[in-house]
Amino acid sequence: MIEVDVLVAGAGPAGSTCAYLLQQAGHSCLLTDPAEFPRDKICGGGLTPRGWAILDRLYPQLDYDFVPVHHAHLYINGKYRGKYHMEKEIRVVRRKVFDRLLLDEYLKIGGKLLKDRVWEVREREDGTIEVSLMSGETVHCRYLVGADGANSRVRQYLNPASKPRVLIFEQYNQRSGTDEITFELANKYKNGYYYLFPNRDYDISGYCEIGSSREKFAGVLDSFGIEKTRPLGAFITTDIDYPYHPHILLVGDAGCWCDCLSYEGIYFALATGENAARAILENRPFEEVNAPILKKKLHRNKAAKLLYNPIGLAMVKLISRHPDRTERILNRYLQ
């Protein structure tokens, strides 16, 4: 049996960040992930200004590659509305490279990584936690940080009925050479949108909505004249549907911390990963440390309700006629 104070399950941005900060503070921790790194993650890879600001604060030494994007093209219900300037760029990263870089920061300062999968969680009478791993190994810890993504095994322990709600489809396209993002908002998408992100060697087309389907994605690609390649789907979790637990902390997608307006998750993964580490180090409840993120998330829920309906969309259409106003709103949203 492995004895450790904190077991962090999942080495995506949320788990690596939490483990990195604990390790940096000299705290006893172990990170486990079944994947062989570098591993890919289906994701647009768009880091908003708030995303790269927290990244730069937590990892000031990190030298990472990205495509800087300063302009967004907007379509509404199939009609082009205009091109809008973003004061601070969106940085589009390759997740395969990016996630490996973050994990390396943890490993460089002596962090330990176990290539294994969390399988079963049990609580002992004294409040400590026993975790069975896929290999048969057992870890005994005081804290378990679930950072194991949208289909989190740790979250299922807290709520066996928990299920991700939104399936996002993406495909890699040949690089078009554009350094600009394209979005389409439309009544035909239920709480979602179409997007095209430029990346270093390819572009990514994607589409998200509640009740998405591969067939509908094919239709959306046709409407933009994009050749179909190999569609990939991955879940995102937006609704917090599990009880808080004082010693089992859920971060990133595992904790359903994703934004339900734009489905941005990397910022929330970094922020909740940091907050879990702080809660453990300062011996404070995670809910308390993480309260500002919950507030932000609830604010986005409200904005999503306003935007994703025919009246909201009609308002956006009106506003989009005024580039200055649209850019002000866009820039405020991204900070």
Ligand X SMILES: Cc1cc2nc3c(=O)[nH]c(=O)nc-3n(C[C@H](O)[C@H](O)[C@H](O)COP(=O)(O)OP(=O)(O)OC[C@H]3O[C@@H](n4cnc5c(N)ncnc54)[C@H](O)[C@@H]3O)c2cc1C
Which is nearer to ligand X, 45 or 192 (by Cβ)?
45
How many residues are present in the chain?
Answer: 335
Residue 335's CB is within 10 A of a number of other CB atoms, namely 10
145 is an interface residue for ligand X by CB under 6 A: no
192 is an interface residue for ligand X by CB under 6 A: no
Asked if the peptide bond before residue 38 counts as cis, ω within 30 degrees of 0, the response is: yes
Rounded Cα gap, residues 127 and 129, in angstroms: 7
Q: Write out the two tokens for 109.
A: 């300062």
Q: Which of 22, 107, 144, 168 binds ligand X (CB under 6 A)?
A: 168
Single out the segment in contact with ligand X by CB under 6 A; choices: 22-30, 55-63, 246-254, 282-290.
246-254
Q: Which of 89, 105, 148, 274 binds ligand X (CB under 6 A)?
A: 148
Give the x/- contact pattern for ligand X in 222-241, rule: CB under 6 A: ------------x-x-----
258 is an interface residue for ligand X by CB under 6 A: yes
Contact 102, 64 (CB under 8 A): no
Q: Which of 42, 97, 294, 316 binds ligand X (CB under 6 A)?
A: 42
Nearest CA to 73 out of 228, 187, 194 is that of 194
Cβ-closest position to ligand X: 265
Alpha-carbon distances of 30 from 91, 112, 218, 254, rounded to whole Å: 30, 6, 42, 18
Which is nearer to ligand X, 66 or 75 (by Cβ)?
66
The label of the residue with tokens 């200004």 reads: 49
45 is an interface residue for ligand X by CB under 6 A: yes
249 is an interface residue for ligand X by CB under 6 A: no
89 is an interface residue for ligand X by CB under 6 A: no
